[in-house]
Chains A and B, each alone.
Chain A
Amino acid sequence: DTGVSQNPRHKITKRGQNVTFRCDPISEHNRLYWYRQTLGQGPEFLTYFQNEAQLEKSRLLSDRFSAERPKGSFSTLEIQRTEQGDSAMYLCASRGFNEKLFFGSGTQLSVL
């Protein structure tokens, strides 16, 4: 069990640029979640995958956001035309059959 891995750990970008984050879940976990967290707030749910199927999307996930999980393994979260309000920690979590969520350390995005 190597844990949930997220890359990069930090990303600084200019407003209007596109960014992509990657999440590698624990290998046997079929469920994967993306969350966004701003300072002083709890994580906000963005989207949920079961295997390769995206089964749930938050209304927070505007059309500038897209997430994929090809082949039901790693997942990517892309933000197009970034805005300063997108600055946050983006967290990925995975889950197998024992109900525990395992989180990665997150990707801290700063939009200048």
Chain B
Amino acid sequence: DAKTTQPNSMESNEEEPVHLPCNHSTISGTDYIHWYRQLPSQGPEYVIHGLTSNVNNRMASLAIAEDRKSSTLILHRATLRDAAVYYCIIDGSARQLTFGSGTQLTVLP
């Protein structure tokens, strides 16, 4: 599976938008881009995924670059409950989903 690069940490103010970037320059044409988040002492939780087009759901939006070598997870209005580690994962073979170190998001009140 393709490798991903994310910033170690980011900060946001409560009720402001947050843009979490992910680089995946070795992504293949049929690889999906997934985002998960993990709160302390819990298993990761699905956030969103996409292939080529931008995607929206009740939790977030996913913006995928035209060349698909990067993507951005967008939280439209960050809340304190959004403070978590966010992982970007490239899903190729589906047999082995590789997590990186993720981005620790801190939301300031």
Residues of A bordering B, CB below 8 Å = 4, 31, 33, 35, 41-45, 48, 50, 55-56, 58, 91, 93, 95, 99-106
Q: Is A99's CB under 8 angstroms from B32's CB?
A: yes
How many residues on chain B are close to A (CB under 8 Å)?
Answer: 22
Overall SS of chain A's interface: strand
**Chain B minimum-CB-distance residue to A105:** B43
B43 proximity list for chain A (CB < 8 A)? 4, 91, 93, 103-106
- A42 contacts which of B32, B42, B45, B100 (Cβ < 8 Å)? B100
List 18 additional A-B contacts (Cβ < 8 Å) besides A50-B95, A106-B42: A41-B101, A42-B99, A43-B44, A43-B99, A45-B96, A48-B95, A48-B96, A55-B95, A56-B96, A91-B43, A93-B43, A95-B94, A99-B91, A100-B46, A100-B49, A101-B34, A101-B97, A105-B42
